[in-house]
Amino acid sequence: MHAIHDYPVGDDTRQHVADLRLAATGDAQAQLRLSQAARAMVVTGEADEIIASMEGLTYARLAAAQGVPDAIMLAADHCAHLGKTYSDCGAEDSASDWIAQAIGLLEIATDLLPSENAAALMQTVNIAADMSTPDIMALAKFYRAAFIPAFGLAALA
């Protein structure tokens, strides 16, 4: 039986630990890197989809609240993945909630992006809206209003 100290610590783990220390002090770029790492591990199947997505979402929200616009897009990506994962499990109420959060965050992102990028993103939001139920869109409106004080233009001023 191996003891924990028998396993070599890889460079990725060292970087995650360093980023965790920085993230704990409020370093938005470290928070963004941890969120990106969580997303990558979900995509490659190296981590539990729900746990890693939730952890990544938390870091993305923290970075977004500090004015990192890319973190809003990453948070939306985590939410959309959670929506799909919960839908695949048959938990439709949870799936709808996560999809609504993703749409609400994408709507906020359109306010923050330069107009040429915002137009393309708005097309994506419109497609998602067309595919969603009225209940999901009502929830998206709620989440947009709830998160805009933390992530919107006023938060970046």
CB 80 within 8 A of CB 98: yes
Whether the per-residue pLDDT at 41 is higher than 90: the answer is yes
Whether the per-residue pLDDT at 119 is higher than 60: the answer is yes
Confidence (pLDDT) at 120 = 75
CB 109 within 8 A of CB 67: no
Whether the per-residue pLDDT at 30 is higher than 90: the answer is yes
Confidence (pLDDT) at 46 = 92
Burial class of residue 137 (count of CB atoms within 10 Å of its CB; 0-12, 13-18, 19+): middle
Whether the per-residue pLDDT at 114 is higher than 80: the answer is no
**pTM for the whole thing?**
0.84
- 45-71, pLDDT tens digit by residue? 999 999 999 999 999 999 999 988 889
